[in-house]
Copies of this chain bind each other. A is one copy, B any other.
């Protein structure tokens, strides 16, 4: 194979790293693939790292030693994240989104791939120090946010179902009280979906009273899994006392006035 130029190696290495967030690549892998000395590649990677820092494009981490390597971690920084959330708020403030009952239509946001990838990266950055083994969500609307968070963290997703599916084998089911409607609901998860004694990060689109999150914690305890974080895109301000204490929401929905069409929603500024 022909030698590669620095600019070519940088294009190729950047592509591979960015395509695989939080995947650790051995220097030997790049060295063989691009027919270049490891010392040369180390310099290339330093260039990528410094460029990413300079332009706020994410973090390149080098882990030294035998099991070490290089990985790319998505990172947006506080200001760009705040601007991004303000932008989503202004989309959500459109009075046409009000649905009878005082709900707001957010489905288009969670189904826009560009927006959900970015939100997934924000969650991943926020919770990476908790080192979860799985992302967990409850079907249906949290799934796109959850898989994008899973992608950014390079860990598997687990979807809790509302009812037992025969195609997934033996399952554990629990009943729980939905916080807002006070109805008894069911959640279930196949036995083989989660290994015992693991750490999980719960991601969902919306939290009102926190009944779903509370039910999820109960279900996880059946798997001896510890919930190390809860991240939701939107939480309502009321009720102030939710059924779970510790959660992180990107946006807070203060109120929806169906008379005037005013939707009061604000970004969280604590990153």
Interface residues of A (CB under 8 A from B): 6-8, 10-12, 14-16, 18-20, 23, 33, 44, 47-48, 50-52, 54-55, 57-58, 99-101, 103, 105, 107-108, 111-114, 116-117, 139-140, 143-144, 147-148, 150-151, 154-159, 161, 166-169, 190, 192-193
Contacts and interface: CB of A to CB of B under 8 A. Distances in A.
A194 to B, nearest CB: 11
B156 A47 contact: no
B116 A154 contact: no
Contacts of A51: 7-8, 11-12
Contacts of A105: 167-169, 190, 192
22 contacts: A7-B7, A7-B47, A10-B10, A10-B11, A11-B14, A12-B51, A12-B57, A15-B18, A15-B58, A103-B166, A103-B167, A105-B190, A107-B190, A111-B159, A113-B151, A113-B156, A114-B154, A140-B161, A143-B143, A143-B147, A144-B157, A147-B148
A113 B147 contact: yes
Contacts of A108: 156, 193
Given A12-B57, A14-B15, 11 more contacts: A7-B51, A10-B11, A11-B47, A14-B18, A15-B57, A15-B58, A107-B168, A111-B156, A113-B156, A116-B147, A147-B148
Interface of A is mostly: helix
A195 B8 CA distance: 43
Nearest to A151: B113
Contacts of A111: 147, 150, 156-159
Nearest to A34: B55
* Copies of this chain: 2
A144 B140 CA distance: 11
Given A99-B167, A105-B169, A154 B113 contact: yes
